[in-house]
């Protein structure tokens, strides 16, 4: 192995301990990483000639500590230290360094670093990037390739994460008492998110990204060593070990997915299974009431104990899901429970649990819901319906391998499907093409019909489309929308029905009446109560509150319109500290394009699209809906700015 590869291997193994130890000394995780990088550069320069030291980690730590001392001395010469005797304890604040402090990191330092990088103050994407950077030793390019984003985006996320930790003065310490459970949950969530992105990639061409799986396993094992008394930590490790054991059997010769019951269990990694069993024993030995990860691990253990798919104890798995759904009553857990019930007690029993989930807004675009439903319908012999569900699932997934697999299932389940039958997708396209409509009306009609097609499937036979189908889509999508929004989509459905010349598909959709709009300023603390929400929404709301600018003006802003240093933008928009802290993370390194973006990529031919993300500008209607839902019915107009004793409405209230 050449010197450069040796240095790289040593860095990946030692970097977390070095950065953690330096953070304890200098109280600044950003500075600690810079000092560690300086030591890495020194190793690249010196080791090829002098050879690799006997203890490379201690060598790197010693060099980094010397750099830290030099940095502090330079700082002392340029600016006197505070004389109030205050001990800086925040990870984002610069502090004093004791040159006599030991060079070796305290064993708990790495655990402290893990809690720091996964702190709830950071957006989830930033937690993941910072964790992989500081604890995984991955470069920005490696992280970007793993998550299919640009290197610039990852670099910006890491920089913003460090800046947020500094601004919030997050302490480099181990939480205690009630805070420990919350902080540990955040750490476990980040590790499992990394694992899941590797195990079932959400986008791209490949079903799996093994590098992320291995990194999550390494982080989980490390966490289990550092927090050995926490049962949920061992439960997560057990879950990941057993799931990872199936990796070789999860794909076929062409990279296509292989379902669990069809996998060759001889290809399951027995070493990983044994490690999973051992982690589960440690979780049980730690005591306490089983948590979500322990219950999921128990489900994985039950699968691993079966010699074949037909010997799986599905009744036990269904019972475990009954327990899990009480602790973690999320729609996805309910869906997984339905699968277990179907396997234990028949597809009809499973379908009875799946169908109510069709009205859950959280699963509106979750491709596994129609995939599961299609599987159950196929087992019940309802092949035409199953075909529609598999096709809809294929349209919703962003993973190419999974999309191809689902389309093949759709074609295989109902090969005799008459191609001449009119479908919802074809009818919607013909309707839009046949109408003499203004561009604004086309956009409005397209929005409604696109939602119907995504929710019900392009291949749904038009003869099977009923008012009940349409009402379900409206309930999951626009139940909380303003009356004007609801009525606009309802009008589109009525026009579409009239064009079809059949049943009124809007028959179950009553027209809503607008309530008189009362605009009153919100309490000054309202935004303080809405912190645990997505970065985009928080930034928009703070910007509206601090600038006093109309919503239309703020939503029309482009990234290139901003002067972050001066806290101003075109159109006389200006802001204060809360917005200034959030904007860099929102922009994430984008040099141009709309400031506020939608959640999904735009379709072909769309206008006003960000050239770096492919997403459209956030609409007024969507922004209004999000704020009403989060604030309990308040409108964006309530985010007006007060000046002294006077207040004025600064929003251009539209439809």
Q: What are the tens digits of pLDDT across the range 133-177?
A: 888 888 888 888 777 778 888 898 998 898 888 888 888 888 887
> Which of 2-6, 23-27, 287-291, 581-585 is predicted with the least confidence, judged by mean pLDDT?
2-6
Instruction: Quickly state the pLDDT bin for 566 (edges 50, 70, 90).
Output: confident
Instruction: Quickly state the pLDDT bin for 313 (edges 50, 70, 90).
Output: very high
Question: Residue 295 corresponds to which tokens in the numbers above?
Answer: 């219950």
What pLDDT shows up at residue 479?
84
Give the model confidence (pLDDT) of 184-226 as tens digits: 988 998 999 889 888 887 766 677 788 889 889 999 998 999 8
Question: Which sign does the torsion angle of CA 370, 372, 375, 379 carry?
Answer: negative
Look up tokens 């997505």; give the residue. 534
- The alpha carbons of the chain give a radius of gyration, in whole angstroms, of 28
Whether the Cβ atoms of residue 449 and residue 437 lie closer than 8 Å to each other: no
What is the b/e burial string over 71-84, where b = at least 16 CB atoms within 10 angstroms of the residue's CB? bbeeeeeeeeeeee
C-alpha neighbours within 13 Å on the C-beta side of residue 275: 19
Best-predicted range by mean pLDDT (81-95, 330-344, 383-397, 528-542): 330-344
* Residue 38 CA: distances (Å) to CA of 33, 50, 64, 65: 9, 18, 7, 10
Instruction: For strands 573-574 and 568-569, give the pairing.
Output: antiparallel
Give the model confidence (pLDDT) of 446-465 as tens digits: 999 998 998 888 888 888 89
pLDDT at 106 over 70: no
Rounded to the nearest angstrom, the gap between the alpha carbon of residue 133 and the centroid of all alpha carbons in its chain is 18
Q: Where are the alpha helices (DSSP H) in 86-139?
A: 107-117, 124-134
Question: Residue 505 corresponds to which tokens in the numbers above?
Answer: 């598909």
Report the distance separating Cα 304 and Cα 299, nearest Å.
9
Report the distance separating Cα 582 and Cα 559, nearest Å.
14
pLDDT at 104 over 70: no
> Which of 80-84, 525-529, 643-647 is predicted with the least confidence, judged by mean pLDDT?
643-647
| Residue among 111, 155, 171 at smallest CA distance from 135 | 111
């Amino acid at each position: 192995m050449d010197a450069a590869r040796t240095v790289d291997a040593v860095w990946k193994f030692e970097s977390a301990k070095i950065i953690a130890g330096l953070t304890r000394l200098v109280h600044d995780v950003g500075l600690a990483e810079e000092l560690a990088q300086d030591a890495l550069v020194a190793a690249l320069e010196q080791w090829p000639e002098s050879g690799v030291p006997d203890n490379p980690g201690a060598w790197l730590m010693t060099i980094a500590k010397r750099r830290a001392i030099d940095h502090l001395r330079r700082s002392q010469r340029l600016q006197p230290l505070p004389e109030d005797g205050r001990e800086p304890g925040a990870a984002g604040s610069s502090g004093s360094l004791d040159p006599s402090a030991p060079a070796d990191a305290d064993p708990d330092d790495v655990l402290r670093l893990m809690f720091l990088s996964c702190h709830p103050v950071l957006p989830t994407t930033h937690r993941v990037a910072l964790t992989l950077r500081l604890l995984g030793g991955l470069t920005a390019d490696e992280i970007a390739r793993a998550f299919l984003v640009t290197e610039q985006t990852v670099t910006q996320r890491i920089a913003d994460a460090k800046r947020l930790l500094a601004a919030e003065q997050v302490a480099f310490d181990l939480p205690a008492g009630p805070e420990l459970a919350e902080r540990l949950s955040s750490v476990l969530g980040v590790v499992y998110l990394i694992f899941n992105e590797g195990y079932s990639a959400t986008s791209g061409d490949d079903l799996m990204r093994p590098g992320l799986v291995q990194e999550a396993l390494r982080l989980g094992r490390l966490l289990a060593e550092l927090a050995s008394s926490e049962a949920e930590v061992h439960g997560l490790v057990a879950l990941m070990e057993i799931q990872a054991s199936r990796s070789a059997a999860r794909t076929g010769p062409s990279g296509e997915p292989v379902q669990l019951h069809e996998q060759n269990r001889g290809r399951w990694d027995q070493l990983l299974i044994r490690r999973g069993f051992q982690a589960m024993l440690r979780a049980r030995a730690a005591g306490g009431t089983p948590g979500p990860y322990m219950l999921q691990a128990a489900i994985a253990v039950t699968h691993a104990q079966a010699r074949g798919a037909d010997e799986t104890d599905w009744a036990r798995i269904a019972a475990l899901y009954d327990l899990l759904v009480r602790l973690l009553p999320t729609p996805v857990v309910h869906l997984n429970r339905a699968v277990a019930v179907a396997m234990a007690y028949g597809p009809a029993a499973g379908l009875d649990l799946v169908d109510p989930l069709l009205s859950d807004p959280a699963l509106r675009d979750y491709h596994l819901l129609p995939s599961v439903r299609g599987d159950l319908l196929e087992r019940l012999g309802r092949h035409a319906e199953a075909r529609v569900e598999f096709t809809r699932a294929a349209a919703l997934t962003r993973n190419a391998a999974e999309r191809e697999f689902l389309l093949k299932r759709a074609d295989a389940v109902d090969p005799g499907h008459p191609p001449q039958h009119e479908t919802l997708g074809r009818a919607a396209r013909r309707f839009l093409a046949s109408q003499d409509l203004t561009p604004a009306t086309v956009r409005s009609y397209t929005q409604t019909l696109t939602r119907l097609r995504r929710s019900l499937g392009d291949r749904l036979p038009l003869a099977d489309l009923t008012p009940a189908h349409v009402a379900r889509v409206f309930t999951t999508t626009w139940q909380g929308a303003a009356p004007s929004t609801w009525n606009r989509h309802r009008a589109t459905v009525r026009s579409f029905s009239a064009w079809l010349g059949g049943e009124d598909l809007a028959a179950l959709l009553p027209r809503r009446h607008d309530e008189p709009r009362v605009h009153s300023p919100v309490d000054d603390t309202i935004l303080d109560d809405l912190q645990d929400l997505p970065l985009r929404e928080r930034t928009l709301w703070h910007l509206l509150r601090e600038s006093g600018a109309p919503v239309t003006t703020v939503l029309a802003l482009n990234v290139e319109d901003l002067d972050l240093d001066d806290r101003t933008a075109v159109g006389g928009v200006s802001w204060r500290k809360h917005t200034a802290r959030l904007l860099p993370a929102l922009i994430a390194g984008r040099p141009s394009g709309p400031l506020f973006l939608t959640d999904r990529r735009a379709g072909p031919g769309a206008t006003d699209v960000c050239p770096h993300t492919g997403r459209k500008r956030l609409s007024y209607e969507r922004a209004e809906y999000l704020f009403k839902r989060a604030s309990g019915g308040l409108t964006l107009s309530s985010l007006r700015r007060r000046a002294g004793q006077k207040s004025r409405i600064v929003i251009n209230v539209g439809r």
